[in-house]
Amino acid sequence: MAKAIINGSRSKGVIHPNIYGHFSEHLGRCIYNGIYVGEGSDIPNVNGMRTDVVEALKKMGIPLLRWPGGCFADTYHWRDGIGPKESRKKIVNTNWGGVTEDNSFGTHEFLELCRQLGCEPYISGNVGSGTVQEFSDWVEYCNMGGQSPMAEERRRNGQDAPWNVKYWGIGNEAWGCGGNMRPEFYADLCRQYATYMRNYDSQHQIYKIASGANVEDYRWTKVVMEQAGHCVDAVSLHYYTRPRTADWNDKGPATGFPLSEYYSTLANTLYMEELVENHSRIIRQYQGDRQVGLCVDEWGTWFDVEPGANPGFLYQQNTMRDALVAAINLNIFNNHCDTVVMANIAQLVNVLQAVILTEGKSMLLTPTYHVFEMYQGHQGAKQLESYIGAALAGEGENQVPNLHLSASESQSGLLVTVANLSAQDSAELDCALTGLGKVSQIQGRVLTGEPGAFNDFGSEEAVKPSPLAAELTEDGFKATLPACSVAAFTLR
């Protein structure tokens, strides 16, 4: 029996909805085919956006979407993607597969997608190969309501009102594909770019996000915070989970993996907590009397591409193992909501740890989608401190705690989300609630299956949530969590 305690009188604050954010890059079949099919497509669409994908994302709860990259962002010149489609420049996507990018999905299309989804846009600007003027013009094009050259150009292209885009990334992975810079050099550029990213409306202040560290590059965060922290609202962090950390050319398959890779993936996922705590500590040390947030603006699993897929398209299947990775990361972000202000899983459709896969007209929801849907109630809720007495699962250096939990309270009640990481053993959970009002109703849901279980075209519902029995006790509730599962309990 595992004992957990949820303490209603201790909280780190409100879980920012943007912790449940997503990322869409011009990469493989994420934007084209996955989201955007064009107005003339026989796949049902509204203004070119796939209706099935948009509807599914709305149901899951998508607060924010990052675009256009990733590495693509630092090669992207936004003017290539505005104006009449037939005259838009055709370029080569040099980062991802060397395919032709016809720029039919640009600023107007991205912001139309966000309108349909009802989510906040987050645009990553080009620092690696762009100019300060180009970046500054993009902000003006999107946000200037009055008269100005950029506002007039936007109107000529059919958009009268400004979009008031709040979230702007100052480059992406400046230490790597975004320019191979040293942190000192990037910090200076960041100061310069941030200076010319203007606010055009006092009601809509923009939020500037510095390109942050790769995994445990704490020096990057330190230098950027020390030298440019005063110019930005947040600093990012990128950390992808792989089973075999040593070699990027041998990441292991997304399906049909051995149990050792199941546990090593989960063990590597738990490392996110240490990363978040250490980067947050550095941010706090240098932020002065302002609050600078941490945006984990790329996270998720990264496996070998599916056999036969273009290696540059990063297309991978998604199993119960991915569902557990999502549950652990989201629990960690919830429990560190005092510093983690945003997180974006990579990527939205057909790329890496996608919540949706498409094939022609067909679409399926991955196990990761279901975790986001089950965790939706945490968005904007008050995080509650929790403690859990977990046992160990796995073997050797890949031992992990069997249970991982987060909890929050909102007007809809109390939401407790728990993952059982053990591939073989179910777990009896006895959860006590303290410092909370009387609870008289409980509803449980669970997502479970073999670690390698996945949804495929033709068997789209092999993995989906089902009800889970739970019983109220004198001081809380009890439930049995199946092996390899993610459970969500709503109490009122």
Applying CB under 6 A, the span of 69-77, 104-112, 182-190, 374-382 interacting with ligand AHR comes to 69-77
- For ligand AHR, the binding residue among 15, 57, 71, 224 (CB under 6 A) is 71
Q: Nearer to ligand AHR by C-beta: 165 or 346?
A: 346
- For ligand AHR, the binding residue among 173, 261, 322, 409 (CB under 6 A) is 173
- For ligand AHR, the binding residue among 165, 346, 400, 442 (CB under 6 A) is 346
Among the listed residues 25, 101, 140, 298, the single catalytic one is 298
Q: Nearer to ligand AHR by C-beta: 299 or 375?
A: 299
- For ligand AHR, the binding residue among 6, 15, 21, 25 (CB under 6 A) is 25
Applying CB under 6 A, the span of 64-72, 128-136, 255-263, 411-419 interacting with ligand AHR comes to 64-72
Applying CB under 6 A, the span of 42-50, 65-73, 139-147, 419-427 interacting with ligand AHR comes to 65-73
Q: How many residues bind ligand AHR (CB under 6 A)?
A: 10
Nearest distance from C-beta of residue 302 to ligand AHR, angstroms: 8
Q: Nearer to ligand AHR by C-beta: 347 or 408?
A: 347
Nearest distance from C-beta of residue 346 to ligand AHR, angstroms: 4
Q: What is the 3-state secondary structure (H, E, C) of the chain?
A: CEEEEEECCCCCEECCHHHHEEECCCCCCCCECCCECCCCCCCCEECCEEHHHHHHHHHHCCCEEEECCCHHHHHCCHHHHCCCHHHCCCEECCCCCCCEECCCCCHHHHHHHHHHHCCEEEEEECCCCCCHHHHHHHHHHHHCCCCCHHHHHHHHCCCCCCCCCCEEEECCCCCCCCCCCCHHHHHHHHHHHHHCCCCCCCCCCCEEEEEEEECCCHHHHHHHHHHHHHHCCEEEEEEEECCCCCCCCCCCCCCCCCHHHHHHHHHHHHHHHHHHHHHHHHHHHHCCCCCCEEEEEEEEECCCCCCCCCHHHCCCCCEHHHHHHHHHHHHHHHHCCCCEEEEEEECCECCCCCCEEEECCEEEECHHHHHHHHHHHHCCCEEEEEEECCCEECCHHHCEECEEEEEEEECCEEEEEEEECCCCCCEEEEEEEECCCCCCCEEEEEEECCCCCECECCECCCCCCEEECEEECCCEEEEEECCCEEEEEEEC
Provide the mask over 304-343, with x wherever binding to ligand AHR is found by CB under 6 A and - wherever it is not. ----------------------------------------
Nearest distance from C-beta of residue 124 to ligand AHR, angstroms: 9
Residue nearest ligand AHR by beta-carbon distance: 70
Residue 235: count other Cβ atoms within 10 Å of its Cβ.
29
Nearest distance from C-beta of residue 25 to ligand AHR, angstroms: 5
Rule CB under 6 A: is residue 298 a binding residue for ligand AHR?
Answer: yes
Among the listed residues 25, 173, 373, 409, the single catalytic one is 173
- For ligand AHR, the binding residue among 70, 128, 243, 401 (CB under 6 A) is 70
Q: Nearer to ligand AHR by C-beta: 20 or 263?
A: 20
Q: Nearer to ligand AHR by C-beta: 30 or 82?
A: 30
Applying CB under 6 A, the span of 58-66, 125-133, 134-142, 344-352 interacting with ligand AHR comes to 344-352
Rule CB under 6 A: is residue 172 a binding residue for ligand AHR?
Answer: yes
Nearest distance from C-beta of residue 298 to ligand AHR, angstroms: 5
Beta strands 427-434; 2-7: pairing state: parallel
* Residues from 347 through 386 that contact ligand AHR (CB under 6 A): 347, 352
Scanning the structure block, which residue is given the tokens 């947040």? 234
Q: Nearer to ligand AHR by C-beta: 211 or 408?
A: 211
- For ligand AHR, the binding residue among 34, 69, 125, 171 (CB under 6 A) is 69
CA distance linking residue 167 with residue 161, whole number of Å: 18
Active site residue 25: no
For 83, the token pair is: 């104006």
CA distance linking residue 388 with residue 380, whole number of Å: 23
Q: Nearer to ligand AHR by C-beta: 70 or 162?
A: 70
Contacts with ligand AHR, residue ranges (CB under 6 A): 25, 69-71, 172-173, 298, 346-347, 352
Q: Supply the residues annotated as catalytic.
A: 173, 298
